[in-house]
Structure formats: C-alpha cells, structure tokens
Chains A and B, each alone.
Chain A
Amino acid sequence: MKKLSLNFWGLLPAYLVMSLLMVLPLLIIFYVSFMSSDPYGGYKAVFSLDSYTQILYSYDWDENLVLNLQYLKIIARTLLLSAATAIICLLISFPVAYYISRQSHTMKTLLLYLVTLPFWVSMVVRVYAWVLILSNDGVLENGLRFFGLIGDIDSLLYNNGAMMVGMVYTYIPLMILPIYASIEKLDSRLIEAASDLYSSRMNTLRRIILPLCKPGIVAGFVLVFVPSLGTVLEPMLLGGGKTMMLGNLIQNQFGVARNWSFGASLTVLLLCIVLIFLMFQARRTNLNKEFS
C-alpha cells in the first residue's frame, strides 16, 4: 500500500501540470472553435459552425456563401512543403548516417557531436543565418556574381524555396539521429553475405539495408514532418508575407486578426492532420510487426 502511494505522489505533479497546462487548454481551443467570433476580438459564447465553414467558404457582397480557396491553398502549401522537407531530409540523411556509421570510433563521436551541435544554437539565429546568405546583395548573390554565374536577379529570399532550405536546415538533425541509430544496429555480416551471393550494391541497399533501417526512417520522418506542419519562424523570415503557412495563419488569428474562433478551428484542423498522420504511421508499423 505504501509503495502504491509513493507511485501516486511521484506522478501527481506531472499529471497536474500536463492536465492543467496542456489538456485543459486544448479542450478550451476545441470549445472556442465551436463558438462564434466577436468582431471586437476574442469570441462570443454562442454556438456556431462559422469558424469551420470559413476555412472553405466566405461571404460575398450579397451575403451568399462562395467557395474561397485562399485558406485551402495555405493548407495545401503547408502539407506539400512539409512533405518535401521530410523527403529531402531523408535523401540527404540516409547517406550521411551511413557514412558516419562506417567511421572509426573517435570519428563517429566527433561527427555525431557536429550533427547535434546546431540543436543547441538558437533557432532564430540559425534561420537568421539564411537571411544573411540569401538576402539582396547577400553572401550567396555576391558570391555567384563574383564568379560571373549570374547577372541581375530577383531576390533569392521570400519564396517557397528559401523557406524550404530553412526548414531542411532546421530539422535535418532530427532525421539523421534515428536513422543513424538503426544503421548502427544493422549486422554488417548481412551486407557481406548479400555481396557474397552476387547481389549488387544497389540491390543490397534496396533489399537488405533499407528494409532493416525502416524503423529509423519512419521515426525520422515523423520527427521532421510533424514540427514542419507547425512551422512559424521560417515562413516569417524567409518566406516573406506572400507565402504563409498554417502555423502563421493560426498565429495571426490570435494576434493581428483577433479572430479566436477561426484560429481555434484552424488549430483543431492542424491537430487532426497530425493525429491522422500519427495513427496512419502507428497502424503501418503494427502491420509490419504482425507480418514479420
């Protein structure tokens, strides 16, 4: 009995903090998303689905509902850029993780240290570095001009590409570490056996290495994709005003636009996207476990 109460008291603070500062706020968001918006800011305690219809429709001059693709575009951009970021991170991370795993012990430790080090550096500073590189008359433009590779060009900053470079740069260590962990667990004798049986390198990679590293790849994909969906900083600094993402849209509803119920419904939408993605991943990993 005494043991049980010790367990209880040990976990109580964590439960208290999480339910008061995480679960309760999410419930409030859910509640506010079904309330109507108040033109003076905040929300009115009147039930309404307006904040959800607002995602797809808007009122024209005659108060008729018309399809409005403005927000759908932002949602689609968010999904596409996040997926692209995760895929690019994966394409770079796999060779890098494999390369690190083949080094000597000291070299491995050093390279892993170099991979994790940027994590400790402020994210704002890391994104700012790209502003410095990509801005007008910035390092990259001057460098390219110096070598005569470009003439006069539009800014390299404030577009989807710049935003994605920033996102890949921010999130790529999250992809390398889990993939590295799964490559380290891989038995290299399997690769040698495949090669002894005249399997080409490509074939070995496709049939032996990649399937065995799948848990690491899946984990890395989740770790990059989920935070990418909620990106706020990169669009604001590298994307400029024109290229908004869902995270910025939400933030604006609670800031300048002061439309809480619309912001809440967008938050619920983002949460649903994340949950569907995580459930899909969990189901697939479970299926894999059952079949192997």
Chain B
Amino acid sequence: MNISALFKPNREATHYPGFGAVGILFFSFLYFPILVIITYSFNSNRIVSVWQGFSWKWYASALQNEGLLNALQVSFTVALFATLIATAIATAAALVLSRGKNVKHAKLSQAVVNLPLMLPEIVFAVAILILFSQLGIQNGMLKLILAHSAFCIPFAFLPIRARLQGMDNNLEQAAQDLYATPLVTFRRITLPLIAPGIFAGAMLSFVISMDDFITSNIVSGGGATTLPVYIFSLVKQGVSPELNAISTLIMVASLLIATPCWLIAKRSR
C-alpha cells in the first residue's frame, strides 16, 4: 500500500470510507494495554506511574518470587494432566463422530461434547464445587484436574474434528483395499494425518487450562493455587512494578506457545 493511495478517494463499490479508521483504532485499543504493561515493567521506580529509568530488576525479583513459582508449578501440572485427559477423550469422540458408520444420536453426542461451551463458566464452577463437596473430595490438585479436564474437552475436540472433516477418507479406504487392518490403517494413515489437529487441540486446551480463572478460583480454595488465581490476588493488592514484570513474562510465554500453534493450524488448512 502506498501513502498517496490513502488520500485518493476510493471509488470502488466495495470500499467503505471510515472502516479503515475504525480498524486502526481497534487494533490500537487491542494492543495499547499490552504495550503499557510491557513498558512499565521496565520502570525502575517503585511507584508504577512515574517513570524513573530503565531497569530489569523487577524481572529478577519476579523470578525469585516463591508464591509465583509454586503457582506456576500447580498450573503447569494441572494443565498437563487436563490436556492429556481431554485430548484423549476428544480424539476418540471426534473419530467416532466424523468417521464412524451408523452413529446413533450423532447430534446429541456433538451437543454433549460441546456442553461446556454453552454454559457461562460460573454456572459450571459452582455446580462442580457442590459436587466435590458432596463427594468429599478434598485434594485441591485432583479437583482442579477433574474440573479442567471437563471444560477443556470441547476446545480439544473442535480442531481435531475440523481436521477430520477437512480431509476425505480416500487414503483410509485405499489402505483398507490393500488389506490393512483397521488398527494399522488408523496408526499408519489416520493418526499421522490428523496429528496437526490433535496438536492444535492439545495446545488450545493447555492454554485454556493455564488461563482459567473463574473455575480455579472457586474450586481450589486453599491448598492448590493456580497462576491466574495467584496473579488475581496480587492485582487485588494494587498495581506494582513486579506485577507488570510477571504479566509481561506470561505474555511472552503465551506468544511462544501461540505462534507455532497458529502456524501449524494455518499450514494444515
């Protein structure tokens, strides 16, 4: 795009003047807060809003913060187990729903798998809190893993199903014509083909689990504190430069996870 084109009236019918300006304003709105956090995380002043000078010291103190590291460990463990469980269940369900023959109640099953997407999260959170207390489950870690596994299933399911629907089953049929057993066909043909979908689904549920606040905040209650719940407790105490550094670190980590996933998802389309 060259600059002079910006000022020439565009007579194309599909052009709407002003939409571009809204677009630019929108992207500024989307990224301004993120830039503010990153900028202020390097402020050496203890008073966040008054700039004093550039410094890495808040990163050093963030990385030595024991509460933060504990919370990170809890979140990581929960996300890892929840992702493994959710992805395994979602893969099985996606295979049946897009490859199975004569599946009964396919529509209902689809709705069941996607159930967590239809409820506001707070409803699920208090419901599962009551369930755990009725069953007498005390272990914070176990409660978190069970709850996260449940609401991660649709997030793992959707990319895998999209991948399965996007490819035809010619290759699978060819393999079966050549006398491959169903198991061999699955292992040598289907699984490698849907691997990008499984990867994308697993990463998505991992991030959803790592980010979850509403359910973790209600369910954890003492014992196991996840990263978002810990950060929330810090925000409650007020803004601080260390919090900015922690937030920046989390954003960098998200970026490092998001970009490869996004590239893989894009290439597999």
Contacts and interface: CB of A to CB of B under 8 A. Distances in A.
A132 B30 contact: no
Contact of B120 (A169, A229, A237): A229
B104 to A, nearest CB: 8
Which residue, B96, B147, B228, has most C-beta atoms of chain A within 10 A? Answer: B96
7 contacts: A95-B19, A118-B34, A132-B40, A192-B14, A237-B236, A247-B214, A255-B218
Interface string B178-197: 00000000000000000000
Interface residues of B, number: 86
Given A123-B211, A130-B33, A254-B129, A98 B19 contact: yes
B92 A278 contact: no
Interface string B116-145: 101111111111111101100000000000
Contact of B258 (A120, A194, A263): A120
A64 interface: no
Contacts of B54: none
Contact of A13 (B92, B227, B258): B92
Given A18-B153, A25-B128, A120-B207, A237 B228 contact: no
Interface in A123-168: 123-133, 135, 137-139, 142
Nearest to B210: A122
Which residue, A9, A99, A125, A264, has most C-beta atoms of chain B within 10 A? Answer: A125
Report, nearest first, the 3 A-B pairs whose CB atoms are least far apart. A230-B120, A129-B33, A195-B13
Interface string B88-110: 11101101110011111000010
A49 interface: no
A165 to B, nearest CB: 9
Given A127-B235, A201-B13, 7 more contacts: A7-B102, A7-B103, A17-B89, A114-B30, A120-B255, A122-B210, A254-B130
Contact of B122 (A120, A195, A251): A251
B89 A99 contact: no
A22 interface: yes
B112 interface: yes
Interface of B: 13-16, 18-20, 22-23, 26-27, 29-34, 36-37, 40, 48-49, 88-90, 92-93, 95-97, 100-104, 109, 112-113, 115-116, 118-131, 133-134, 146-147, 149-150, 153, 207, 210-211, 213-214, 217-218, 227-228, 231-232, 235-236, 239, 243-244, 247, 250-251, 254-255, 257-258, 262, 266
Interface in A109-126: 109, 111, 113-118, 120-126
B150 A126 contact: no
A14 B32 CA distance: 41
A132 B37 CA distance: 8
Nearest to B256: A120
A181 B266 CA distance: 15
Contact of B23 (A100, A123, A271): A100
Nearest to A245: B122
B228 A124 contact: yes
Which residue, A25, A123, A142, A205, has most C-beta atoms of chain B within 10 A? Answer: A25
Given A125-B37, A125-B231, A169-B29, A247 B251 contact: no
A191 B14 contact: yes
Contact of B126 (A13, A124, A267): A267
Contact of A22 (B20, B34, B150): B150
A10 interface: yes
Contact of A263 (B49, B96, B126, B153): B126
Nearest to A126: B33
A100 B243 CA distance: 34
A128 B37 contact: yes
Contacts of B207: 120
A14 B109 contact: yes
Contact of B13 (A125, A192, A226, A263): A192
Nearest to B27: A114
Contacts of A125: 37, 231, 247, 250-251
A269 to B, nearest CB: 10
A29 to B, nearest CB: 5
A169 B28 CA distance: 12
B212 to A, nearest CB: 8
A70 B149 CA distance: 37
A230 B121 contact: yes
A167 B133 CA distance: 31
Which residue, A11, A102, A196, A278, has most C-beta atoms of chain B within 10 A? Answer: A11
Contact of B153 (A17, A127, A264): A17
